[in-house]
């Protein structure tokens, strides 16, 4: 088993911070687009937006952007802000596009039931959520005096 003393796993609270940054950035892009499509009445009234444009803007666009960031930078802007990146759990290399797609879809699995798959990051020794386990990835950053050294392999 390869062990890296250069990196550490990124834990639950740092990943929550990264996700909050990403959520704000996504909303800054998506809300004006939805506003231009549906108008202020429907957005402000809380009416459920439906139709192909909502699916495109609210689901497909964010998925495409996130997976593109993962492929280009191994991180979203939020993860970059905390110095984290996503790597293959076995090798430490850049994940494949298949792993990134599985990881993204795994977020939906991780939120059911009661976000347990996301909370799992705080419990797991390698700080993997269910989406990471499904995709075979881990989130790491340069070591800042963290606890557990990163181990690549099974």
Report the distance separating Cα 124 and Cα 3, nearest Å.
17
Note down pLDDT in tens along the chain; length 154 residues.
Answer: 466 678 999 999 999 999 999 999 999 999 899 888 877 776 666 666 677 888 899 899 999 999 999 999 999 999 999 999 999 999 999 999 999 999 999 999 999 989 999 999 999 999 999 999 999 999 999 987 555 667 787 6
CA trace torsion 72, 77, 82, 86 (10° rounding): -30
Residues in the chain: 154
- pTM score of the predicted model: 0.86
Identify the pLDDT of residue 8: 94
* Six token digits for residue 152: 């690549």
- Say if CB 8 and CB 143 are below 8 A apart: yes
- Say if CB 97 and CB 135 are below 8 A apart: no
Query: Domain boundaries in the chain?
Result: 9-143
In three-state secondary structure terms, 148 is: coil
Report the distance separating Cα 15 and Cα 130, nearest Å.
14
Identify the pLDDT of residue 61: 95
């Amino acid at each position: 088993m390869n062990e890296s003393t250069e990196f550490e796993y990124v834990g639950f609270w740092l990943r929550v911070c990264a996700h909050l940054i990403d959520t704000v950035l996504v909303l800054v892009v998506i809300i004006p687009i939805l506003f231009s499509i549906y108008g202020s009445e429907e957005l402000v009234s809380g009416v459920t937006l439906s139709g192909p444009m909502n699916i495109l803007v609210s689901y497909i666009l964010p998925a495409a952007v996130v997976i593109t960031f993962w492929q280009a930078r191994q991180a979203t802007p939020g993860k970059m802000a905390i110095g984290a990146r996503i790597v293959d759990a076995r090798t430490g290399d850049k994940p494949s596009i298949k792993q990134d797609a599985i990881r993204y879809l795994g977020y939906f699995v991780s939120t059911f039931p009661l976000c347990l798959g996301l909370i799992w990051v705080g419990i797991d020794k390698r700080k993997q959520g269910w989406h990471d386990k499904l995709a075979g990835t881990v989130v790491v950053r340069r070591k800042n005096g963290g606890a557990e050294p990163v181990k690549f392999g099974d």
